[in-house]
Amino acid sequence: MTEKDVPGIRKYDAPAGGWGALRATAKAISDQMAAPEAAITLYRTNKPEGFDCPGCAWPDRHHTSTFQFCENGAKAVTWEATKKRVTPEFFASNSVSSLLEWTDYQLEDQGRLTNPMAYNAEKDIYEAVGWDEAFRRIGQILRDQPDPNMVEFYTSGRASNEAAFLYQIFAREYGTNNFPDCSNMCHEATSVGLPKSIGIGKGTVSLDDFDTCELIIAIGHNPGTNHPRMMGTLHEVARRGAPIIVLNPLRERALERFADPQDALEMATFGATEIASSYLQPRIGGDAAALKGIMKALLEMEAEQGEAAGILDREFIEGHTNGFDAFAEDLRATSWAGIVAESGLPEEELRKVAQAYAKSNATIVTYGMGVTQHSTGTRNVQQIANLLLLRGNFGKPGAGICPLRGHSNVQGDRSVGITEKPSAGMIDRIEQRFGFRAPSQHGHDAVAAMQAIIDGRSRVLICLGGNLGVALPDADACFAGMRRLELSVHIATKLNRSHLLVGKNTFILPCLGRTEQDIQSTGPQAVTVEDSMSMVHASRGKLKPASEELRSEPAIVAGMASATLPASRVRWMEMLADYDLIRDAIEAVFPEFLDYNARIRIPGGFRLPLPPTERIWPTASGKAEFLRFSGVAEDPRPADEAVLKLATIRSHDQYNTTIYSLDDRYRGVFGRRDVVFMNEEDMNDRGIQQGDRIRIRTALDNEGDRILENVIAVSYKISRGSVATYYPEGNCLIPLNYIDPTSGTPSYKSVPVHITLA
């Protein structure tokens, strides 16, 4: 195949990180902020007296380091602390219909929202509205609903513990458990799958474990882009010679080579460190098969070498687990031919991973959306737990499971009650504390909520952050559904497309961001967040708010609640005046937050209890469970050989639905997002050359008319039969009900498609 010169597509040979990252950071700052302010803001990020970085949920060691360099953290902070503003004058001169013509990038790039706005349908514009008036009108419509279960309370994972707690108390006193949240599109497979395996739905490692681990297996995540602060950790691990085995259908530069901007020598010499010791490229959706292959090889090694060789940790299996025999039986019955065909990896490679694994006395498996966003996401996660159980890699230093969480407080929101399936204990303790009985009937998750909206079964959507209409699959159906709402309310920092999908009554309520001072009647307030290693710590905004009209998220929730529930048993305004009182209430409802207010005053905060780290298993049986994955196929596999598997992924310059720029530097894409990454042989088979316009059509039954056009093919190091394009552009290809039935997570990473020349 001859390489065509395609605008914006060129090889990027540099390592990830390094000078490219420094340049990108400088550009983010100069584009969005006034310089002196920018430096101070960044300096305050992730310091004990500063604010928590809104970029991702990767922890910081002791929270005492001076500014930890991270390009994407800098982008997230500068994007929020921008000097640009979206004012009532902006809305007066741009109708909602005209704004819908703008790209997602243009919308967010207008800057911070400054005033509460209400949609005027006659004029098709948003008009400024007073806070009290907005609360009054929202409260009236909520009270007029025939059934509280016709209202959806969405949470995006940036909300603080304090905001999320008040929000769930409001919704439950109002009378529903409809809590769609971003976690439903993200790590739900972890939240649902791990409790069955080890008794809790969270990761078990701490940062210190990375100092002593002897092996990391990294599956389906792209830390150079999505968790850049993790790169410092991986860099250290690679430097001390511990192997890092990567399973990812795409070659991701940061997992190949990384230059740590904190490393003066590496920067000065243009050096870099090899990150992956081996890089396996399974087919998209081939992880369960690959994991079964690794585990099968281990069993075979043990059979050959005898139990005394210590290939499996027999003592641990005996003392701490259930279900091993049936599980092992299934592995023995699974054929290598099936494993190789589904995983797309040679038997030899999988055996090598098993050998490395058997050698390591302490292994960490890290994983992300490449594992969870599949029809079998929950079972995939459980296979990772099985792998770790085989060698007792829980409850010992340097070992454990490490799901890479998304939003900076997505885990915390769950810990303080954002769940559509409340436990009986939580309901009882809410009653003891607040004197009302919360509903126990299960509510809607994200997909179920949108389906209810589309069907007209739900008529109100309140959004604590996020961009739900764009984040979910099937944009057309979601957009149409949102336009039929009787009321939608968006608590937000920046304008996005969901705000423009206006219903009968639509409000935008602008809130403070993490970086900004939050002053209530008793003085400045701190909020708290939980990182992906279950560390809870305080975050204090330092900047002057983007507008005097902004209110904190807790203030907005308390305002809506007071206006909706005149006879409320909750002392909203008292708690709002002093967030310590909110934390006292959290502690009363969630006993693991014992001594909450005292412990967040210690720099670095505290860790929530994680029983499996002490080999205590809060499962039904009291033991960790080996859970079988029968067969090897992750997703429904169409008989048609020509079908490819499509993953929708993030570019380097985006934060979920927020697009910072059109570049995806490490993958060699500049100034455009209309690309589809393809394996060269798959291109040849179809007579497609780099730069050719192609057409993607979903290959699911009755889904023939889901088409993405106006995209070009880019030849990429991606496994055979696998293709990838960007999220959210690819969402139109995915049916809303194409989900993991166990967790409800959309299968964003494995859509069967046909690709042809346009």
Ligand X SMILES: Nc1nc2c(c(=O)[nH]1)N[C@H]1C(S)=C(S)[C@@H](COP(=O)(O)OP(=O)(O)OC[C@H]3O[C@@H](n4cnc5c(=O)[nH]c(N)nc54)[C@H](O)[C@@H]3O)O[C@H]1N2
For residue 754, the minimal CB distance to ligand X (Å) is 18
Q: Is 266 helix (H, G, I), strand (E, B) or coil?
A: helix
One-letter amino acid identity for 90? F
* Count of residues of this chain found to bind Mo ion when the rule CB under 5 A is applied: 2
Q: Which run of H or of E encompasses 338?
A: helix 336-343
Residue with Cβ nearer ligand X (217 or 624):
217
CB 44 within 8 A of CB 51: yes
Helix ranges restricted to H, 199-241? 209-212, 223-226, 228-239
> Of 82 and 156, which CB lies nearer to ligand X in the complex structure?
156
- DSSP 8-class letter at 527: E
Q: Report, in Å, the least distance between residue 442 CB and ligand X.
A: 21
Q: Is the dihedral of CA 482, 488, 491, 494 positive or negative?
A: positive
For ligand X, the binding residues in 154-193 under the rule CB under 6 A are: 156, 158, 182, 185-186
Question: Between 147 and 186, how does the x/- string for binding to Mo ion read (CB under 5 A)?
Answer: ---------------------------------------x
Q: How far is the CB of 548 from ligand X (least distance, A)?
A: 18
The H-or-E segment that residue 524 falls in is strand 523-524
Residues near ligand X (CB under 6 A), total:
60
406 binds Mo ion (CB under 5 A): yes
Q: Which part of the chain contacts Mo ion (CB under 5 A), choosing from 345-353, 402-410, 464-472, 699-707? A: 402-410
**Of residues 231 and 608, the one with the C-beta less far from ligand X:** 231
Q: Is 740 exposed, middle or buried (0-12, 13-18, 19+ CB in 10 A)?
A: buried
Token pair 């059509």: residue: 697
Q: Is 230 in the site for ligand X (CB under 6 A)?
A: no
Query: Which residues in the 526-565 window bind ligand X by CB under 6 A?
Result: 553
472 contributes a contact to Mo ion by CB under 5 A: no
- For position 369 contacting ligand X by CB under 6 A, the verdict is yes
d(CA 564, CA 556): 12
Q: Using the rule CB under 6 A, give the single segment among 38-46, 135-143, 458-466, 701-709 that binds ligand X.
A: 458-466
* Helices 71-80 + 35-44 axis angle, to 10: 120
From 213, 345, 610, 647, residue interacting with ligand X (rule: CB under 6 A): 647
Q: Could you tell me where the DSSP H helices lie in 151-222?
A: 161-174, 188-198, 209-212
Considering only 11-19, 477-485, 508-516, 661-669, which stretch makes contact with ligand X by CB under 6 A?
Answer: 508-516
Q: Is cis: bond before 728, omega within 30 of 0? A: yes
658 is a contact residue toward ligand X (CB under 6 A):
yes
User: CA triplet 414, 410, 546: central angle to 5 degrees?
Assistant: 125
* Binding of residue 108 to ligand X (CB under 6 A): yes
The nearest distance, CB 80 to ligand X, in angstroms, is: 6
Binding track over 319-358 against ligand X, x by CB under 6 A? ----------------------------------------
The greatest distance separating any two alpha carbons of the chain, rounded to the nearest whole angstrom, comes to: 79
- 171/624 with CB nearer ligand X: 171
Are the CB atoms for 319 and 312 separated by under 8 Å?
no
According to DSSP, residue 599 is labeled H
Q: Report yes or no: 579 and 162 within 8 Å, Cβ to Cβ.
A: yes
Pick the closer one to Mo ion by CB: 249 or 406.
406
Q: By the 8 A CB rule, do 30 and 52 touch? A: no
Is 293 a residue that touches ligand X (CB under 6 A)? no
Please identify, among the stretches 10-18, 29-37, 341-349, 643-651, the one whose residues bind ligand X according to the rule CB under 6 A: 643-651
- Binding flag, residue 223, Mo ion (CB under 5 A): no
At its nearest, how many Å lie between ligand X and the CB of residue 541? 10
- Under the binding rule (CB under 6 A), the answer on residue 748 touching ligand X is yes
CA distances for 506 relative to 196, 606, 628, 718, angstroms: 41, 40, 47, 43
Cβ distance 442 to 605 under 8 Å? no
Closest to ligand X by CB, 50 vs 392, is 50
- Strand, coil or helix: what is 393? coil
DSSP 3-state assignment of 451? helix
Q: Which residues bind Mo ion (CB under 5 A)?
A: 186, 406
Q: Which residues bind ligand X (CB under 6 A)?
A: 56, 72, 108, 156, 158, 182, 185-186, 219-222, 225-226, 247-250, 252, 282, 284-285, 287, 368-370, 373, 404, 406-407, 464-468, 471, 491-494, 496, 511, 513-514, 553, 647-650, 654-658, 727-728, 730-731, 748-749
